[in-house]
Chains A and B, each alone.
Chain A
Amino acid sequence: MNFEELFWSLQVLVAVGLLTSAIAAIRFKNLVSAVIAMAVFSLILSLEFYVLQAPDVAIAEAGVGACLTTAMYLLAIKKTTDEEVIE
Chain B
Amino acid sequence: MGEEDCGMTVDGAFMWALILLLFSAMLTLIRLLTGPTIPDRAVALDSMTTTTAGAMVIYGVVTRQAVFIDVALVYAVLSYIATLYIARYLVKKRVGIACECEEAGT
Residue pair B32, A66 in contact (C-beta under 8 Å)? no
Within 8 A of A (CB), among B45-83: 45, 48-49, 52, 55-56, 59, 62, 65, 67-68, 70-71, 74-75, 78-79, 81-82
> Would A50 and B68 count as touching, CB distance under 8 A?
yes
> How far does the alpha carbon of A60 sit from the alpha carbon of B32 in the complex, in Å?
25
Residues A9 and B19 in contact, CB atoms below 8 Å apart: yes
Taken together as a complex, chains A and B put the C-alpha atoms of A10 and B78 apart, in Å, by 23
Q: How large is the interface on A (under 10, 10 to 19, 20 to 34, 35 or more residues)?
A: 35 or more
A32 touches B75 (CB 8 A): no
Q: Which secondary structure dominates where chain B touches chain A?
A: helix
Once A and B bind, how many residue pairs between them come within 8 Å at the CB atom? 117
Q: Does A63 lie within 8 Å of B33, measured CB to CB?
A: no
A74 within 8 A of B: yes
* Given A43-B49, A55-B67, A77-B89, residue A21 in contact with residue B22 (CB < 8 A): no
Taking a contact as CB atoms under 8 Å apart, the answer to whether A43 and B7 are in contact is no
B78 partner, pick from A21, A35, A62, beta carbons under 8 A: A62
Contacts from A to B (Cβ < 8 Å): 1-3, 5-6, 9-10, 13-14, 16-17, 20-21, 24, 30, 32-33, 35-37, 39-40, 43-44, 46-47, 50-51, 55, 58-59, 62-63, 66-67, 70-71, 74-75, 77-78, 86-87
